[in-house]
Chain A
Amino acid sequence: MMMTLIKGSTVAAEGHGHSPIEQFEIRELVPINLFGIDASLTNSGAYMLVALGLIFSFLYFSTGGRSLVPTRLQSISEILYEFIASTVRENVGAKGMQFFPLVFTLFIFVLVLNLLGMIPIPGVTFTVTSHIAVTATLALLVISIVIVYGLYTHGIGFFGIFVPSGVPPALLPLLIPIEIISFISRPISLSVRLFANMLAGHIALKIFAGFIGLLLGGGIWALLAPLPLALTVALTALEVLVAVLQAYVFAVLTCIYLSDAVHGAH
């Protein structure tokens, strides 16, 4: 009963969809086969390209003037720069500034992809970060860099991060496995947090938006339609906040993990 309600609601709201998860579907735009691997340009890939184009052109052209007194657009770019730079500096330290371009790229990429998913275009809107494949790849990239850089700078001593300091040796057999599990769970939590936030938010939005159409079509029930509308408006604001916040959380957690690689055992 509930499912049909939801299905019906999305049909009424969007006119073409079938369910609240319809928006997550990956549609092929240009089929490409690369050495037997499916590399087709999909709506996901297209959204990534759009994000790439938007980020680059905004940051590049807004700072074209290199004005000493920044223009409005230039100050947005500078604020983004300073914001991530200070986040890296505070969490990783001055030595961590070599990772600033990486953290900045991760942040701006996730941020723009999250926000692009909040712009409603019927039949098109897609949130790249609502796919675990994307978020997991980014998280694995971060963890790989942490491990490779950690081993490169500290050698085998990097594994000292699994040995908590100031703990009675008797407890170590218990604590070391816990530390290892917590380290391994980092990429999982990093990727699932972003993925689940985007997914759940968009599903909730879609469901509540669907109720509006359903109620409007339900005779006297139309009087109740403003309720889900108000909720949808509130949820939209919340989702914009979540989109920004999750991008920031991703960047901060990346910094915290990188800090282990830079500073070694704690």
Chain B
Amino acid sequence: MAENTHKEAVAGEHQVHTSTGAHGSEQPQFPPFNTDTYSSQLVWLTLTFTLLYVLMSRLVLPRIGEVIDERRERIQRDLDTAERLKTDTDRALADYEKALADARANAGAIARETRGKLDAKVAKRQAAADAENAAQIAIAEKRIQDTRTKALASVDEIATDVAAAVVKQLTDADVSAADIRSALSSRTS
């Protein structure tokens, strides 16, 4: 490659690009300021830069941009999904708590109702038992009353008999039973 430095060998009609050793009298030229090389540099710069620009703007950059946008969208979508799922979870949790509270309230109601029912039943049974007791008590009292009345009636008879006997013994007079009975009742009443 170093041999190409000397252009005379390669391009006859081309101007000498590099000045090293070519011109004996001239001072060696500083390559960046050698205007002879400008046209070829410009041609290739224009060519490669234009081609690069077209490739970048048409092919490469849209592709990279697309991938980046897609990723950004995907992340956003995932975040949105996460947000939605979280809302769903929160709602489900609220629902659950509400259901729990309802169930508790329900259970309380059932317990109260059951208690009420049982209380009513107990009260009814108690009332029935009380009524039965009262009836029996009434019957018993009636019997006692009867017995007493009978006994009292017997006492009158005995008193009459005793009085008739006492009167007979004392006065030897026969007093009729009816008289004695009226006399006794007038005394006692």
Binding site for B on A (CB under 8 A): 16, 18-19, 21-22, 24-29, 31-34, 37-45, 48-49, 51-52, 55-56, 59-60, 63, 66-68, 70, 74, 77-78, 81-82, 100-102, 104-105, 108-109, 123-124, 130-134, 137-138, 141, 195, 199
Contact = CB atoms under 8 A, between A and B. Distances in A.
Interface in B30-68: 30-34, 36-49, 51-53, 55-57, 59-61, 63-68
Given A68-B74, A133-B37, A78 B45 contact: no
Contacts of A51: 48
A105 B53 contact: yes
A199 B59 CA distance: 33
Contacts of B32: 24, 130-133, 195, 199
Interface stretch (B4-12, B80-88, B94-102): B4-12
Contact of B44 (A16, A25, A41, A101): A41
B39 A28 contact: no
23 contacts: A25-B5, A25-B20, A37-B39, A38-B40, A39-B44, A42-B41, A45-B40, A49-B44, A56-B60, A59-B56, A60-B63, A63-B63, A67-B67, A81-B64, A81-B65, A81-B68, A82-B68, A100-B61, A104-B56, A109-B48, A130-B32, A132-B32, A141-B49
Ranked nearest first, the 4 interchain pairs of A and B with the lowest CB-CB distance are: A45-B44, A101-B57, A48-B48, A39-B43
Instruction: Classify the interface of chain A: helix, strand, loop or mixed.
Output: helix
A77 B59 CA distance: 13
A48 B67 CA distance: 28
Contact of A48 (B17, B45, B63): B45
Contacts of A78: 64, 67-68
Interface of B: 1-2, 4-5, 7, 10-11, 13-15, 17-18, 20, 28, 30-34, 36-49, 51-53, 55-57, 59-61, 63-68, 70-71, 74
Contacts of A32: 40
Instruction: Classify the interface of chain B: helix, strand, loop or mixed.
Output: helix
Contacts of B61: 81, 100-101, 104
Nearest to A124: B1
B68 A66 contact: no
Contacts of A43: 1
Contact of B10 (A28, A33, A68, A130): A28
